[in-house]
A and B are shown apart, each in its own frame.
Chain A
Amino acid sequence: MILKPLFFYLFSFVTIGAAFMVISSRNPVHSVLFLILAFFNSAGLFVLLGAEFLAMILVVVYVGAVAVLFLFVVMMLDVDFAELRQGFLQYLPVGATIGLVLMVELIAVLAGTVVNANVAADAVTPIPPLAEKSNIEAIGALLYTKYIYFFQTAGLVLLVAMIGAIVLTLRHKEGVKRQNVAAQVARTPETSIEVVQVKSGKGI
Chain B
Amino acid sequence: MASFVDWIVGWVDWFVTWTFWDSYTGQGTIIVAQVLAVLAPLLLAVAYLTYAERKVIGAMQLRKGPNVVGWFGLLQPIADAAKLLFKETILPAGANRVIFVAAPMVTFILAMIGWAVIPFGEGLVLSDLNVGILYLFAISSLGVYGVIMSGWASNSKYPFLGALRSAAQMVSYEVSMGFVIITVLICVGSLNLTDIVMAQKTVWFCVPLLPMFVIFFISTLAETNRSPFDLPEGESEIVAGFFLEYSSMTFALFFLGEYASMLLMGAMTSILFLGGWLPPIDIAPFNWIPGPIWFFGKIAACMFVFLWVRATFPRYRYDQLMRLGWKVFLPFSLLWVVLTAGFLFAFDLVPNR
Which residues of A lie under 8 Å from residue B207 when comparing CB positions?
none
Q: Are B137 and A60 in contact (CB under 8 A)?
A: yes
Interface size on B, residues (CB 8 A): 29
A interface with B by C-beta (< 8 Å): 3, 29, 33, 36, 52-53, 56-57, 59-60, 63-65, 68-69, 71-72, 75-76, 130, 134-136, 179, 181
Q: Are B130 and A134 in contact (CB under 8 A)?
A: yes
**Also in contact, A135 and B138, with CB within 8 A (given A33-B149, A72-B148, A179-B320):** no
B interface with A by C-beta (< 8 Å): 24, 99, 129-131, 134-135, 137-138, 141-142, 144-145, 148-149, 152, 160, 163-164, 167-168, 170-171, 174, 190-191, 319-320, 323
**Also in contact, A33 and B171, with CB within 8 A (given A56-B131, A60-B141, A72-B164):** no
- Chain A nearest CB, measured from B170 CB (Å): 8
Which residues of A lie under 8 Å from residue B137 when comparing CB positions?
56, 60
Q: CA of A129 to CA of B131 in the docked complex: distance in angstroms? A: 16
**Also in contact, A135 and B130, with CB within 8 A (given A68-B171, A72-B148):** yes
Which residues of A lie under 8 Å from residue B24 when comparing CB positions?
3
B138 contact from A64, A75, A130, Cβ within 8 A: A64
Supply 24 A–B pairs (Cβ within 8 Å), ascending by A.
Answer: A3-B24, A29-B99, A52-B129, A52-B131, A53-B131, A56-B131, A56-B138, A59-B138, A60-B134, A60-B141, A64-B138, A64-B144, A65-B174, A68-B145, A68-B148, A71-B167, A72-B148, A72-B164, A72-B167, A75-B148, A75-B152, A134-B130, A134-B190, A179-B320
Q: Which residue of A lies closest to B317 (CB)?
A: A179
B99 contact from A33, A72, A135, Cβ within 8 A: A33
Q: Are B131 and A136 in contact (CB under 8 A)?
A: yes
Inter-chain CB contacts under 8 Å: number: 67
Which residues of A lie under 8 Å from residue B174 when comparing CB positions?
64-65
Q: Residue among B138, B141, B149, B160 with the most chain A CB within 10 A?
A: B138
Q: CA of A63 to CA of B171 in the docked complex: distance in angstroms? A: 11
- Chain A nearest CB, measured from B102 CB (Å): 9
Q: Are A68 and B167 in contact (CB under 8 A)?
A: yes
Q: Are B320 and A57 in contact (CB under 8 A)?
A: no
Q: Are A64 and B131 in contact (CB under 8 A)?
A: no
- Chain B nearest CB, measured from A145 CB (Å): 15
**Also in contact, A29 and B171, with CB within 8 A (given A52-B130, A134-B130, A136-B131):** no
A60 contact from B130, B138, B167, Cβ within 8 A: B138
B134 contact from A3, A57, A65, A75, Cβ within 8 A: A57
Q: Which residue of A lies closest to B192 (CB)?
A: A134
Q: Are B138 and A65 in contact (CB under 8 A)?
A: no
Q: Are A64 and B164 in contact (CB under 8 A)?
A: no
